[in-house]
C-alpha cells in the first residue's frame, strides 16, 4: 500500500496554495475528492491561461493529478446531505477559502464533529480564522508584500520585488499538508478530530527565520545586497564569469580555503582581512572585487569544472529550460507524465516528497465532475433514484 492509501480527504480548494498541498497527499496515495462548486464552474485554476481549453488548463493539471472530482453545491440542502454523508466516511475536510468562510459554510470541527467525531478540518486561508484580517482575501503576491519578503528581494535601490515563484502559496500548502497528517494521526490515536487553522500569513512570517530573530533580539534591519548576496556569509551569492554567472556558497571555512586555492589566490585564506567569517563580512567589498577579477578570466563551464573538482559548493544560474534538462533532474525522476484527452502527453515536475522506494503511479487531473459515479455509487452507495433526485434538486449543478 502507498503511505496514505487509507486516507480520504474532502477538498474544497481552488487555485494554487490548497491544491499544491493536497497534491502532495494525493501522490502519497490519499484519496482526494475535490468538491467543485458547479455555480462557479469548479476550481478557478481550470481557466488560467495561456494553456487553457474548455474546463481544463495546464495550470490545473500541475496541482491536481491523482485526485477525483465531484460537482457539488454544499450550500444546497440536498448537496449538504451528500457532503455530510461523505464526512461520515472520510478522515479530513480540506479547504483553502477566506478565513471567515469555513464557519459560514459550516465546515469546522464544531459543525461536523457530531457527524464524525474523528474528522479533521484543515483550513488554509490568507490570514487565518482569527485576528483582525480573518475576513480579508489574499494571494501569494499580497502576502509577500505584507510579510516583508519584497523588502528583502531585489537589487539595492531597486523597487521591491517578489520571489520568482509563488513560494508563500507553496509553503502554505506544505504546512497545511503537515498539519492535516498530524491531525489525522492524533485523531486516530485519541478518537477525536480537530480544526487545523493554517494561514499563508503565518507561513510567510515564520519563514522570516533568522533575520527576524536578529531583528527581535539585536535590532537588526535587513537590507538588500547586490547580486543576491548572503547577509552574513561571504562569499555567498552570484558572481560573474567571462560569459555568464555562477553561484558560490562558502558556508564553511574549509570552502573558502578551497576557493582561494582554486582561483589561484591561496594567500587569501591567510590574509588577516579574510581569515574568518567576521573578517570576510567586514571586508566584503574588497573580497568580492578580488573574486570578481579572478572569475572574469574563465567561462562559467570552466569554473564549474575547476571549482567542482576543488570541492567548492557552486552551481550555474540556469534558465528554467536548463534546470529541467539537468542530468540530476532525470536521475531523480523529477519529471512525470500523464495522458490527457485535450492536451495529450502532459509532463510536469514530480513531488519532492519521498517515502519508501515504491514507484508512484500518476493519473491526470480529473475532468470537472468526472468522478460523480464513483463517489455517489461506490463511496456512498447511492442508487439511480437518489442520484436522479440530486440532479433534479440542483445539488450537482443547475438542473
Mean pLDDT of the 140-144 span: 97
Among residues 174, 177, 293, the alpha carbon closest in space to that of 239 is found at 293
Q: Can you read off the three cell numbers belonging to residue 152?
A: 528583502
In which band, very low, low, confident or very high, does the pLDDT at 159 lie, cut at 50, 70 and 90? very high
CA gap 54, 60 in Å, rounded: 12
* Alpha carbon 327 to its chain's center: 24
Task: Specify whether 88 is located in the same domain as 178.
Answer: yes
Range of the domain at 237: 227-317
Task: Specify whether 71 is located in the same domain as 151.
Answer: yes
User: What number of other Cβ atoms are within 10 A of residue 186's Cβ?
Assistant: 15
User: For all residues of the chain together, what is the average pLDDT?
Assistant: 96
Q: Can you read off the three cell numbers belonging to residue 348?
A: 510536469
Pair 317, 246: CB distance under 8 Å: yes
Task: Specify whether 179 is located in the same domain as 43.
Answer: yes
CA gap 302, 307 in Å, rounded: 9
- How confident is the model over 303-347, as pLDDT tens digits? 999 999 999 999 999 999 999 999 999 999 999 999 999 999 999
Q: Can you read off the three cell numbers belonging to residue 147?
A: 510579510
Strand, helix or coil for residue 10: strand
Would you give the DSSP letter of residue 367?
P
Does any domain span residue 12?
A: yes
Task: Specify whether 234 is located in the same domain as 381.
Answer: no
- How confident is the model over 366-386, as pLDDT tens digits? 999 999 999 999 999 999 999
* Percent of the chain surpassing pLDDT 70: 100
pLDDT at 359: 79
CA gap 253, 297 in Å, rounded: 25
Among residues 14, 78, 2, the alpha carbon closest in space to that of 48 is found at 14
b/e per residue 213-225 (b: at least 16 CB within 10 A): ebeeeeeeeeebb
Q: Can you read off the three cell numbers belonging to residue 73?
A: 453545491
pLDDT at 361: 84
- How confident is the model over 229-252, as pLDDT tens digits? 999 999 999 999 999 999 999 999
Which residue matches cell numbers 484543515? 122
CA gap 318, 170 in Å, rounded: 21
Does any domain span residue 324?
A: no
Would you give the DSSP letter of residue 335?
E
Task: Specify whether 273 is located in the same domain as 337.
Answer: no
Strand 236-240 and strand 52-53: the pairing is: unpaired
Q: What are phi and psi of 345, to 5 degrees?
A: -75, 120
Beta bridge partners of 33: 10, 68
CA gap 108, 176 in Å, rounded: 15
Torsion of CA 70, 75, 76, 77, to 10 degrees: 110
Residue 399 has pLDDT above 80, yes or no: no
pLDDT at 360: 80
Does any domain span residue 327?
A: no
Which residue stretches of the chain are H helix?
17-27, 58-64, 77-88, 101-105, 109-112, 140-146, 149-152, 167-190, 200-206, 209-218, 253-262, 277-282, 284-295, 300-310, 320-325, 327-331, 372-373, 384-393
- How confident is the model over 66-124, as pLDDT tens digits? 999 999 999 999 999 999 999 999 999 999 999 999 999 999 999 999 999 999 999 99
Does any domain span residue 243?
A: yes
Task: Specify whether 109 is located in the same domain as 199.
Answer: yes
Would you give the DSSP letter of residue 368?
T
CATH number at residue 355: 3.40.50.10540
CATH number at residue 303: 3.30.1540.10
Which residue stretches of 130-166 are H helix?
140-146, 149-152
pLDDT at 398: 85
Q: Which of these is catalytic: 39, 185, 215, 230?
A: 230
Q: What are phi and psi of 193, to 5 degrees?
A: -80, -160
pTM passes above 0.75: yes
Q: How many domains does the chain have?
A: 2
Cis preceding linkage at 90, omega within 30? no
Task: Specify whether 308 is located in the same domain as 342.
Answer: no
pLDDT at 181: 98
Q: Is residue 230 annotated as part of the catalytic site, yes or no? A: yes
Does any domain span residue 322?
A: no
Residues in the chain: 399
Boundary (domain end) residue, out of 287, 317, 347: 317
- List all residues 6 or more positions away from 145 whose beta carbon is below 8 Å from its beta carbon: 160, 162
In which band, very low, low, confident or very high, does the pLDDT at 169 lie, cut at 50, 70 and 90? very high
Task: Specify whether 240 is located in the same domain as 304.
Answer: yes
Which residue matches cell numbers 514530480? 350
Which residue matches cell numbers 461523505? 86
Amino acid at each position: 500500500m502507498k503511505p496514505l492509501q487509507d486516507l480520504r480527504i474532502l477538498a474544497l480548494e481552488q487555485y494554487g496554495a490548497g491544491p499544491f498541498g493536497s497534491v502532495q497527499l494525493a501522490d502519497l496515495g490519499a484519496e482526494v475528492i475535490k468538491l467543485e462548486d458547479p455555480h462557479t464552474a469548479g476550481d478557478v485554476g481550470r481557466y488560467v491561461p495561456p494553456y487553457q481549453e474548455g474546463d481544463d488548463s495546464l495550470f490545473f493539471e500541475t496541482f491536481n493529478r491523482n485526485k477525483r472530482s465531484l460537482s457539488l453545491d454544499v450550500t444546497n440542502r440536498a448537496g449538504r446531505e451528500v457532503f455530510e454523508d461523505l464526512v461520515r466516511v472520510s478522515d479530513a475536510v480540506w479547504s483553502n477559502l477566506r478565513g471567515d468562510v469555513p464557519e459560514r459554510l459550516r465546515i469546522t470541527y464544531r459543525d461536523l464533529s457530531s457527524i464524525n467525531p474523528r474528522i479533521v478540518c484543515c483550513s488554509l486561508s490568507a490570514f487565518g480564522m482569527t485576528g483582525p484580517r480573518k475576513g480579508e482575501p489574499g494571494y501569494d503576491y499580497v502576502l509577500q508584500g505584507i510579510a516583508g519578503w519584497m523588502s528583502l528581494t531585489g537589487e539595492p535601490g531597486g523597487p521591491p520585488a517578489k520571489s520568482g515563484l509563488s513560494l508563500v502559496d507553496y509553503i502554505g500548502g506544505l504546512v497545511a499538508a503537515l498539519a492535516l497528517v498530524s491531525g489525522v494521526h492524533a485523531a486516530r490515536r485519541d478518537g477525536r478530530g480537530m480544526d487545523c487553522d493554517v494561514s499563508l500569513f503565518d507561513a510567510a512570517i515564520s519563514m522570516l527565520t533568522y533575520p527576524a530573530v536578529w531583528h527581535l533580539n539585536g535590532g537588526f534591519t535587513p537590507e538588500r545586497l547586490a547580486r543576491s548576496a548572503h547577509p552574513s556569509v561571504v562569499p555567498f551569492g552570484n558572481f560573474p564569469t567571462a560569459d555568464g554567472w555562477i553561484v558560490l556558497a562558502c558556508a564553511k571555512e574549509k570552502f573558502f580555503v578551497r576557493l582561494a586555492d582554486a582561483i589561484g589566490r591561496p594567500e587569501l585564506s591567510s590574509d588577516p582581512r579574510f581569515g574568518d567569517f567576521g573578517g570576510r563580512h567586514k571586508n566584503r567589498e574588497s573580497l568580492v572585487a578580488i573574486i570578481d577579477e579572478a572569475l572574469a578570466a574563465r567561462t562559467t563551464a570552466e569554473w564549474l569544472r575547476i571549482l567542482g573538482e576543488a570541492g567548492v559548493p557552486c552551481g550555474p544560474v540556469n534558465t528554467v529550460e536548463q534546470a529541467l534538462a539537468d542530468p540530476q533532474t532525470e536521475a531523480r525522476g523529477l519529471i512525470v507524465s500523464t495522458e490527457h484527452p485535450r492536451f495529450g502527453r502532459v509532463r510536469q515536475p514530480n513531488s519532492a516528497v519521498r517515502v519508501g522506494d515504491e514507484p508512484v503511479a500518476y493519473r491526470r487531473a480529473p475532468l470537472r465532475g468526472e468522478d460523480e459515479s464513483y463517489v455517489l455509487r461506490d463511496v456512498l452507495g447511492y442508487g439511480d433514484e437518489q442520484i436522479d433526485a440530486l440532479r433534479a434538486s440542483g445539488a450537482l449543478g443547475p438542473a
